Amino acid sequence: MSDWISVNDRLPEEDLGACIVYDGFKVQHADHYIIDGEHLWNTPDCYESEEIRGVTHWMPLPEPPKVGDDE
């Protein structure tokens, strides 16, 4: 898995989509968007998104495990 990236060091350059974020209290799955130059982090709820505030660190999702004959 990748190392955590501080938002003070670097933010995703383009719409990353799904990632993992840390807001100082908990780790959660989030979607990342850039709207009007502002980086936004939202929960990927299929009915309604909720903005995650205070994100201090983020990382891309890891590759999924290999399943099947290749294991």
pLDDT above 80: residue 55: yes
Q: Considering the chain, what percentage of its residues have pLDDT values greater than 70? A: 90
Query: What pLDDT shows up at residue 2?
Result: 64
pTM comes to 0.80
Tens-digit pLDDT profile for residues 21-45: 999 999 999 999 998 888 899 988 7
The first and second tokens of residue 13, run together, are 């350059």
pLDDT above 90: residue 1: no
Q: Reading across the β-sheet that carries 38-42, which strands appear in turn?
A: 5-6, 57-60, 17-22, 27-35, 38-42
